């Protein structure tokens, strides 16, 4: 089988890696290895990011301080535990385009979503619906449905789904805006993902937020597959809230700590209903142990408990790498890596593959969702046997995410070449 001309070959892939200004960041991570001891090609950062090498030392530091200081570590640890969450304010805000004070690192994503829904889903007469996208992540759908039931709204009536046009896989922004124009007065909350987990589509969040606000809807985003993946501008988009995990593109470890954004206009409003906990209370009176809750200004006012230090420590290592690399440079490399992978896959002769993810780089992050009719799991397993780790989703979708912090152009070439040869043998 001959290769198409004009595409990236192995020599070009290696040359691109030599010229890559971000190439040294790959050495900052532990790469998983196969049975032969060789590094695997890991394209599953959209599910679990790799471990930064610096994370080990940061966790050990906290364990050592715990052993050495016990309770005194809250104030005397090398990074005091009492205020541990505060060190993330600037770095985490930079990743999502927020202002310091608008972001708090806490809990898990779905816990944070429940907290935000308590505050920002406010059904009223004639306005009870929540607008979500087709193929919304199940946990988001479960959380939304549970809040509707808790407010006496049948989810069958209260959930409005924005769907793709017949024969299309992804949503058009103009269709979402038209839906908001037509039914916006029925919608209490627009709850969209930043990047859809299934298709890999990156939504035009700024346009969706503006269209929702024109109709008087609250706006919230799930950025699980967007934070650390695509450029974000939550403050400027004037979203009411956003939530995200940090164990995917932000590399904080399995089940790692999550985060939430609350726009500063709400962070200054102590009357907003919320589920309160003592770490959200004003620090000036927190240890007075008074029965009255006085929320701290900013996103911190939604905290429930003191920071889980051991879970937070790995995120320090990852965010330091993001600050060194910069989202602009990471995005530039991401577009190139993903573009090369897409071009190589589309050029496979007589291929059954169908890329569900939009071809427009602005409408996707680093994930490609590839439909392999009838043989998705087979291809996923075949690649794994060749030292290539991808992600499988029913029905027959193989997800591949070349992450710019640690994936290389040679990784991309190896994956596409393995798929080409595997499909050729499987005919």
Task: Give residue 6's pLDDT.
Answer: 60
**Does 5 reside within a domain?**
no
CATH number at residue 416: 3.90.1150.10
Task: Give residue 7's pLDDT.
Answer: 86
**Does 50 reside within a domain?**
no
**Does 43 reside within a domain?**
no
**Does 72 reside within a domain?**
yes
Give backbone dihedrals phi and psi of 404, rounded to 5 degrees, phi first: -70, -20
* Residue-range definition of the domain harbouring residue 90: 60-323
- Asked if residue 270 and residue 181 are part of one domain, the reply reads yes
Assigned token pair, 12: 């070009």
- Are 336 and 412 contacting, i.e. CB atoms less than 8 angstroms apart? no
| Whole-Å CA distances, 374 to 371, 397, 401 | 9, 10, 22
Task: Give residue 427's pLDDT.
Answer: 62
Residue ending a domain, choose from 323, 355, 378: 323
Residue ending a domain, choose from 302, 323, 344: 323
**Does 45 reside within a domain?**
no
> pLDDT digits over 356-369, tens only?
999 999 999 999 99
- Asked if residue 367 and residue 352 are part of one domain, the reply reads yes
- Are 415 and 383 contacting, i.e. CB atoms less than 8 angstroms apart? yes
Instruction: Show the low-confidence residues of the chain (pLDDT under 50).
Output: 1-5
Domain count of the chain?
2
pTM, 2 dp: 0.96
**Does 293 reside within a domain?**
yes
- Asked if residue 268 and residue 141 are part of one domain, the reply reads yes
- Asked if residue 363 and residue 308 are part of one domain, the reply reads no
Alpha-carbon 69 to chain mean position: 36
- Asked if residue 258 and residue 191 are part of one domain, the reply reads yes
- Asked if residue 154 and residue 18 are part of one domain, the reply reads no
Q: Hey, is 85 helix, strand or coil? A: helix
Q: What whole-number distance in Å separates Cα of residue 19 and Cα of residue 9? A: 15
- Asked if residue 371 and residue 292 are part of one domain, the reply reads no
**Does 68 reside within a domain?**
yes
Residue ending a domain, choose from 259, 290, 323: 323
**Does 227 reside within a domain?**
yes
Task: Give residue 393's pLDDT.
Answer: 96
- Asked if residue 364 and residue 266 are part of one domain, the reply reads no
Task: Give residue 1's pLDDT.
Answer: 31
- Asked if residue 195 and residue 233 are part of one domain, the reply reads yes
- Asked if residue 289 and residue 349 are part of one domain, the reply reads no
- Asked if residue 128 and residue 98 are part of one domain, the reply reads yes
- Asked if residue 385 and residue 236 are part of one domain, the reply reads no
Task: Give residue 416's pLDDT.
Answer: 97
CATH number at residue 157: 3.40.640.10
Q: Hey, is 13 helix, strand or coil? A: helix
């Amino acid at each position: 089988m001959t290769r198409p001309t004009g595409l990236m070959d192995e020599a070009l892939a290696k040359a691109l890696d030599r010229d890559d200004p971000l190439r040294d960041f790959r050495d900052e991570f532990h790469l998983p290895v196969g049975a032969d001891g060789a590094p695997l090609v890991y394209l599953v950062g959209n599910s679990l990011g790799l471990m930064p090498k610096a994370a080990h030392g940061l966790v050990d530091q906290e364990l050592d301080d715990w052993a050495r200081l016990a309770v005194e570590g809250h104030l005397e640890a090398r990074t005091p535990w009492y205020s541990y969450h505060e060190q993330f304010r600037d770095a985490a805000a930079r990743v999502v385009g927020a202002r310091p004070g608008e972001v708090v690192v806490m809990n898990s994503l779905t816990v944070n979503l429940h907290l935000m829904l308590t505050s920002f889903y406010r059904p009223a007469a004639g306005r009870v619906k929540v607008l979500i996208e087709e193929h919304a992540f199940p946990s988001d759908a479960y959380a939304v449905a549970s809040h509707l039931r808790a407010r006496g709204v049948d989810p069958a009536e209260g959930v409005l789904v924005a769907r793709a046009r017949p024969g299309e896989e992804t949503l058009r922004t103009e269709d979402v805006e038209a839906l908001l124009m037509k039914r916006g007065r029925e919608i209490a909350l627009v709850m969209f993902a930043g990047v859809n987990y299934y298709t890999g589509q990156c939504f035009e969040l700024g346009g969706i937020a503006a269209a929702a606000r024109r109709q008087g809807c609250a706006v919230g985003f799930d950025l699980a597959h967007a934070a650390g993946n695509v450029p974000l501008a939550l403050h400027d988009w004037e979203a009411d809230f956003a939530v995200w995990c940090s164990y995917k593109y932000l590399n904080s470890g399995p089940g790692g700590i999550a985060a939430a954004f609350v726009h500063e206009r709400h962070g200054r409003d102590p009357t907003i209903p919320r589920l309160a906990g003592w770490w959200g209370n004003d620090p000036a009176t927190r240890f007075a142990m008074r029965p009255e809750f006085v929320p701290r200004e900013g996103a911190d006012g939604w905290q429930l408990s003191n920071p889980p230090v051991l879970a937070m420590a790995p995120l320090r290592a990852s965010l330091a790498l993001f600050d060194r690399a910069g989202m602009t440079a990471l995005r530039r490399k991401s577009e190139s890596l993903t573009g090369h992978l897409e071009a190589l896959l589309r050029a496979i002769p007589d291929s059954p593959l169908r890329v569900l993810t939009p071809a427009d780089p602005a409408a996707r992050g680093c994930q490609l969702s590839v439909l392999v009719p009838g043989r998705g799991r087979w291809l996923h397993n075949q690649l794994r046997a060749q030292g290539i780790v991808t992600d499988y989703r029913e029905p027959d979708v193989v997800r591949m995410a070349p992450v710019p912090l640690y994936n290389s152009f040679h990784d991309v070439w190896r994956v596409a070449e393995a798929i080409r040869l595997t499909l050729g043998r499987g005919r």
